Amino acid sequence: MNAETSSGEDKPVTAKPAAPWVAPAITAIVSLIAGMLLASYNFGLATNRFFLEKQAKTADDVAVEFSRYVDNWSRLMRMRRHFDAMKTPPGKEEREFFKKAVYERASARDKLFSSLDATHLYYSDKVSSLVVEFRTWDDKQAELTIEKLPDIKEWQKWQIDVLRALREEIRK
């Protein structure tokens, strides 16, 4: 490109050279922005991974404790029905075994409920509501006599429903 002078002659236009600090300054600014974006992305990724690991650990704990709890309920029901069918009262050893089973069921329940409490931290309101429904239902069962208790399949149904809800959320 040419520029016309006052005498009418064409004179080539020359650009003024940039200051020597401009290129490094632009590079530094671009690098800073890219670094901040990458750090933010990595933080989000780490947070999501941590959260997913907590969800998986909670689901594993609930699965193990639910199995123990259901197994203990099943054992107690079988023992009680066996005792009721006996023509003579259970012996001392049988009574002690029954007391041990009652203790183990109570212990399994405490551990299950502790694991279920963690779902309120790492899972959605939908899962939390299901957990609360189960606990309410289970509390009602604890007040019933052996004759009025539902079949063990009811506990197993709750177990499957809760575990499926946990799995669905982990897969999201």
Q: What is the pLDDT of residues 134-149, one digit of tens each?
A: 999 999 998 888 889 9
pLDDT band for 104, please (50, 70, 90 cuts): very high
Mean pLDDT of 126-138: 97
pLDDT value, residue 105: 93
Residue 65: per-residue pLDDT: 97
Which pLDDT score, from 0 to 100, does residue 81 have?
A: 86
Tokens 């594993």 locate to 60
> Under a CB-based contact definition with an 8 Å cutoff, are residues 62 and 116 in contact?
yes
Helices (H), the chain: 22-85, 92-122, 125-142, 152-171
Q: What torsion do the CA atoms of 108, 111, 112, 118 make, to the nearest 10 degrees?
A: 180
- Give the burial string for 5-30 (b: 16+ CB within 10 Å, else e): eeeeeeeeeeeeeeeeeeeeeeeeee
Tell me the pTM.
0.71
Polymer length of the chain: 172
- What does the block give as tokens for 147? 């004759």
pLDDT in tens, 72-99: 999 999 988 888 888 888 889 988 988 9
